[in-house]
Amino acid sequence: MNDDFKDIGAMIESKNSIYIVPHIMMDGDAMGSAAALCRALRKKKKTAWILTEDKIPDNLMFLDEGLTTDDAEKIESPDLCVLLDCGEESRYPKRKDAVAKSGKIICLDHHATSKAVFDMNHIDTEAAATGEIVYDLLCEMKVDMDKDIGEAIFAAITTDTGNFQYSNTTRRSHEIVAELYDLGIDHNKVSIEIYQSEPVEKIKLHGMVLGDIKIFGEGKAAIAKVTQDMLRKTGARMEDSEGLVSKLRDIKGVEIAALLKEQPDGEIKVTMRAKEYADVSKIAQKHNGGGHVKAAGCSLNCKTEEAQDIIENEICRELEDKRHNKYR
């Protein structure tokens, strides 16, 4: 059962030193909603920090103006921890002690995998972004929102909705953004920061990977790989493979796209996307991974070629399965 914003707001108001804990491998929603909440709490004269355990992606650094710390001792005994866009220990492994030592724990999330197991919880899978939940909470708490808070919420919503194109986008997403304009947000500046600041090495890596796509499953599937050798040749990092799997999915006729990422230790991380009707989370779960119906991932411990065979077979099976169900 979800706690309502009034009760969550009251709990937050009663606390003074607060950690905000977004998930590892932060995306725009994690960082954006955390930045918005952190700024709001500081406006209310709370001691508030976003506690991180890994690097903030370069294109989200503009959201962090002295808001983050990776020092779990920054607050000696936090009254409260707010888990944001994140409801499982595996999403904050190195911060679990800091979370555990907090007086109370609130979880605000929109992932179906999060369970309402904390002191207070608001998990709304209908929200396109955790940023929407934070926005509604800040409204309820009558926070005097400003341009910076607005831009952080905009960053959260625009990234998690794929610029308002994904099926998770709702009427409410647009209503909230319309309201953010009243705060004077510079949505174009946010977009330039997030999308027009690509390292050239990343662009070169994308070029190399996209030059070598395999289409299979009667044109309904696409697969490509990022190897350590490609990273060496382009000077890119594995994080720069971000966005590639969507480009594979964007190919006409492709329903399932997969990207194989060869890790330094030889492990193969697999990222998958479905376009309209297939379920890639089924494939991921079979190999101890997870995710959503249309976006999921897993890891395989084998050679790249072997991993490719396994994943191609799984994809063909899923496509076959859906084909049968369609005509049933």
Would you give the binding string for a second copy spanning residues 276-315, x where CB under 8 A is met?
x---------------------------------------
**CB 209, min distance to a second copy, A:** 7
Would you give the binding string for a second copy spanning residues 245-264, x where CB under 8 A is met?
--xxxxxxxx----------
Angle in degrees, 0-180, between the axes of helices 130-140 and 171-181, rounded to the nearest 10: 60
Q: Is residue 170 at the binding interface for a second copy, with CB under 8 A as the rule?
A: yes
User: How many CB atoms lie under 10 A from the CB of residue 263?
Assistant: 13
Q: Is residue 212 at the binding interface for a second copy, with CB under 8 A as the rule?
A: yes
Q: Which of residues 65-124 bind a second copy (CB under 8 A)?
A: none
Select from 208, 236, 260, 300 the one that contacts a second copy (CB under 8 A).
Answer: 208
Backbone phi, psi, residue 66, to 5° = 70, 25
Q: Is residue 325 at the binding interface for a second copy, with CB under 8 A as the rule?
A: no
Select from 188, 232, 288, 324 the one that contacts a second copy (CB under 8 A).
Answer: 188
What is the Cα–Cα distance from 65 to 211, expressed in whole angstroms? Answer: 39
Q: Is residue 239 at the binding interface for a second copy, with CB under 8 A as the rule?
A: no
Q: Is residue 222 at the binding interface for a second copy, with CB under 8 A as the rule?
A: yes
Under a CB-based contact definition with an 8 Å cutoff, are residues 273 and 256 in contact?
Answer: yes
Question: Which residues are within 8 A (CB) of 249 and not within 5 positions of it... i.e. 6 or more apart?
Answer: 222, 256, 257, 273, 274, 275
Nearest CA among 294, 241, 292, 295 for reference residue 268: 241
Nearest CA among 129, 156, 135 for reference residue 32: 156
Residue 291, beta-bridge partner list = 296
Binding site for a second copy (CB under 8 A): 58, 158, 162-167, 169-171, 174-175, 177-178, 181-182, 187-188, 191-192, 195-200, 203-204, 206-213, 215, 222, 247-254, 275-276
